[in-house]
Amino acid sequence: MLASVGVRLSAASRGKVSLVSVSRRLCTKHPETPASLPDSEPPEQRRPKKDPAECSVLLFPGQGSQFVGMGRGLLQYPNVKEMFTVAQKILGYDLLSLCLQGPEEELQRTVHCQPAVFVTSLAAVERLNHENPKAIEMCVAAAGFSVGEFAALVFSGAMNFAEALYVVKVRAEAMQRASELVPSGMLSVVGRPQAQYKHACLQAKEHCMSLGIEEPVCSVANYLFPDGRVIAGHQQALDFLQQNSRRLQFMRTKPLLVSGAFHTKLMESATEPLREVLRQVEVRRPDINVYSNVDGKRYMNEKHVRRQLVTQLVSPVKWEQTLHEIYERTHGKKFPYTYEVGPGNQLGATLQRCNMKAFKTYEHVDVAIHEED
């Protein structure tokens, strides 16, 4: 299937629908090294250092940021129409119509919203490249939340758009199937400073065992910001956390509109399909720093990318740690511009709570502009 659809489309569209990853590489590639150099010169020329105040960072949102109407007005930008055309061939349905018109309950399904967020985010990159090409040229780092990591990798030149979309399709379908095995979900939690999340999860699992549930799952799935977590697992465990929120020092709890307990052991059955499809596509070392959700560290090579993308399914998204890694700098050093490219502005909200200085140069690239704008 992949050879007949994904690879064929990627080969046909590699030059046409390669997004700004190609133009960004051309803008930032190393200077050409002469065929022969005098003995007194170093064998390689180094890329000149960039002023941090002129550099940029791109953040790509994940599942849960989708909404009906996203993508409206973006078709006027280069490559976007071709992206949605390729998407329709790979996915087998009209993704653009689903994004623009819904219905909402279909867009929210895991199998649909992951490809939708992926494509729309990269369409937003095209808008940013059209309106502010310097932001693309001077980009030094990218990160994506969960499925957003695939968009970050495409932008960085590590993966081809069509192949990555096919991987996202396989990933979303596998996660949907895993979600249907047991009643499960995700719970957004904002706790007091004294809240102990791991101990709360342990109590929730003990409650599940008292109900006769064998090997219950309840763990932190997302580290968002100080005292901000998403906990995922069996539905009975999440119900326990909500019912005992005051005693557990939780100030606010809110169930998320997702189909299952993503980034926990309950996604184990989805790992093999993802691992297999990643073996079939080309993966390259990113041209800029791209940070993994698994540990907040940057990807080193193509093997590292493949391994971490699979591990990510059953590991918590360490977004707070990733932001600290991206924006850590010595006192007095300026912060880069930050652009959230994709639906919603949740990543900006987390950046504001993790690093106010970095947030001062944050901007959201809207994906729901009107045609007349």
As annotated, the active-site residues are 146, 263
Q: Are 338 and 362 in contact (CB under 8 A)?
A: yes
**Residue 86 near residue 154, CB atoms below 8 Å:** no
| 103: preceding bond cis by omega (within 30 degrees) | yes
- Structure-token pair, residue 52: 């941090």
Residue 128: name the closest of 74, 88, 208, 171 by CA. Answer: 74
SS3 228: strand
Question: Which residues lie below 8 Å from residue 79, measured CB to CB, with a gap of 6+?
Answer: 16, 17, 19, 126
Q: Using an 8 Å Cβ cutoff, are 225 and 350 in contact?
A: yes
CA separation for the pair 231, 182 (Å, rounded): 16
For residues 201 and 237, is the Cβ–Cβ distance under 8 A?
A: yes
What value does the CA radius of gyration of the chain take, rounded to a whole number of Å? 21
* Nearest C-alpha neighbor of 240 from the set 221, 213, 222: 213
Length of the chain, in residues: 373
Mapped onto helix, strand or coil, the DSSP state of residue 223 is: strand
Judge contact between 255 and 350, C-beta under 8 A: no
Provide the edge-to-edge strand list for the sheet that holds 228-234.
250-255, 184-191, 228-234, 218-225, 317-318
Q: Which residue has the tokens 């990807």?
A: 299
Handedness of CA 86, 14, 59, 292 (dihedral sign): positive
Please name the amino acid found at residue 335.
F
Report the half-sphere exposure of 103 (CA within 13 A, side-chain side). 2
| Nearest-angstrom CA–CA distance, 315 and 298 | 16
Bridge partners of residue 184, in order along the sequence: 234
